[in-house]
Amino acid sequence: MAELDDIIHQPLRLKIMAALNALHPAQGLDFPRLKKLTGATDGNLGAHIETLAKAGYVSVEKAFVGKKPQTTVTATATGRGAFARHVATLREIIATAEGK
């Protein structure tokens, strides 16, 4: 059986990756929306996004919309692949337990 991805397995990072994977590959989520969806605090979310970015699972783009700074987080192809493998492993664990 394949191993679970340690980076994605952490609960908040799993939520971040699940949220980003639900979007079209070209789409990302801005920081406030991601914060609202995951229920995380600013500091916690920022730290976990950084971990995912270091692993190459997400890309972080900072830009100004008018005078406001906006941070957009998008899942990379590597991140999407890792997330798909993680989900497959979760399903495999359940299937094995059910004796399929």
Q: Which of residues 24-43 bind another protein (CB under 8 A)?
A: 24, 26-27, 29, 33, 37-38
Shortest distance, position 5 Cβ to another protein, whole Å:
11
- Tokens 């070209």 locate to 26
Residue 36 CA to residue 64 CA, distance in Å, equals 21
User: Cβ closer to another protein: 78 or 96?
Assistant: 96
Selected range binding another protein among 2-10, 45-53, 56-64, rule: CB under 8 A: 2-10
Nearest to 79 by CA among 12, 3, 16, 34: 16
Regarding 62 and contact with another protein (CB under 8 A), the answer is no
Residue 19 and residue 52: Cα distance in Å, rounded? 13
**Residue 77 interacting with another protein (CB under 8 A):** no
**For another protein, the closer CB: 68 or 97:** 97
Q: List CB contacts of 57: < 8 A, sequence separation 6 or more.
A: 7, 8, 17, 75, 76, 78, 79, 82, 83
Interface with another protein by CB under 8 A: which residues?
Answer: 1, 3-4, 9, 11, 14-15, 18-19, 21-24, 26-27, 29, 33, 37-38, 87, 90-91, 93-94, 96-98
